[in-house]
Chain A
Amino acid sequence: AQSVTQLGSHVSVSEGALVLLRCNYSSSVPPYLFWYVQYPNQGLQLLLKYTTGATLVKGINGFEAEFKKSETSFHLTKPSAHMSDAAEYFCAVRGDTGRRALTFGSGTRLQVQP
């Protein structure tokens, strides 16, 4: 079975500062990894995903994540935070070939201070 751990339920950064949201996973098979963003009172929107190939993945809104197999990590970064980045971010893994549903982390709420 797979699992996801997101370190830090709340992260606060200043506008223009680096954003780093941490995600570690466990999976018995090569994982597919996802980051989703949820704005208040909305559904989840895909930011980026890793399936195979290049380990540095670029997504929407300037976000990127790097898959590091040796560290079982898939941390999300953005060089310069914008006020509009304030939201909740979820890391998810799909690693079990029998079930295609996602296993989600508990989420990280990002605050951006002016």
Chain B
Amino acid sequence: NAGVTQTPKFQVLKTGQSMTLQCAQDMNHNSMYWYRQDPGMGLRLIYYSASEGTTDKGEVPNGYNVSRLNKREFSLRLESAAPSQTSVYFCASSEMADTQYFGPGTRLTVL
């Protein structure tokens, strides 16, 4: 099993450009999450999806949109990237309230 996969691994954008981060899981989990990791701040929740067809805002949703395409896939879109969105982005999945499994991350730099 691949677990949670994320693409791309690295990305450099210019201010104002858009992009979509892709996440997929093969564990048949209902819940999926997007976090961002910044130095000294741990991981902060951007959006989550408790089940297919539902999404909700997390702690830091501004500037992002998400799509739960199906049970496996949960994408994160930056419509107009800003330097403040330079970060490492992690996708995670879980079954009910149990352990979250994390992908390898996407390192995004916005110039």
Please tell me which one of the listed residues B31, B56, B102 contacts residue A43 in the complex, with CB atoms under 8 A apart: B102
Q: Does B100 count as interface, using CB distance less than 8 angstroms?
A: yes
- Indicate whether B58 reaches chain A with its CB closer than 8 angstroms: yes
Decide: B104 and A42 in contact? CB cutoff 8 A.
yes
- Asked if residues A104 and B94 are in contact (CB atoms below 8 Å), the reply is no
List B contacts of A94 (CB < 8 A): 97
In the bound complex, residues from chain A placing their C-beta under 8 Å from that of B31 are: 100
- Whether the pair A100, B90 counts as a contact (CB closer than 8 A) is no
CA of A4 to CA of B101, assembled, Å: 20
A41 to B106: give the CA distance in the assembly, Å: 10
Contact yes or no, B42 A106, CB < 8 A: yes
Q: A13 on the interface (CB 8 Å rule)?
A: no
Most chain A CB atoms below 10 A, which of B90, B92, B96, B100: B100
Considering only residues 88-114 of chain A, those with a C-beta below 8 Å from chain B are 90, 94, 99-107
Within B57-111, the residues touching A (CB, 8 Å) are 58, 90, 92, 94, 96-97, 99-105
Asked if residues B100 and A102 are in contact (CB atoms below 8 Å), the reply is yes
Distance from B6 Cβ to chain A, minimum over Cβ atoms (Å): 8
Kindly identify, within residues 1 to 23 of chain A, every residue whose CB is under 8 Å from any CB belonging to chain B.
4, 9
Contacts of B58 in A (CB 8 A): 101
The answer on a CB contact under 8 Å between A106 and B50 is no
Contact A43:B99 (CB < 8 A) given known A90-B42, A101-B33, A106-B41: no
Query: Does A49 have its Cβ within 8 Å of any Cβ on chain B?
Result: yes
Can you offer 25 A-B residue contacts whose CB atoms are under 8 A? A9-B40, A34-B99, A34-B100, A41-B105, A42-B104, A42-B105, A43-B90, A43-B103, A43-B105, A44-B43, A45-B102, A90-B43, A99-B56, A100-B31, A100-B50, A100-B94, A100-B96, A101-B45, A102-B45, A104-B43, A105-B42, A106-B40, A106-B41, A106-B42, A107-B40
Closest 7 CB pairs of A and B: A104-B42, A43-B102, A44-B102, A104-B43, A106-B42, A101-B45, A43-B104
Known: A32-B97, A43-B90, A106-B40. 6 other contacts (CB 8 A): A41-B105, A43-B103, A44-B92, A46-B100, A94-B97, A102-B43
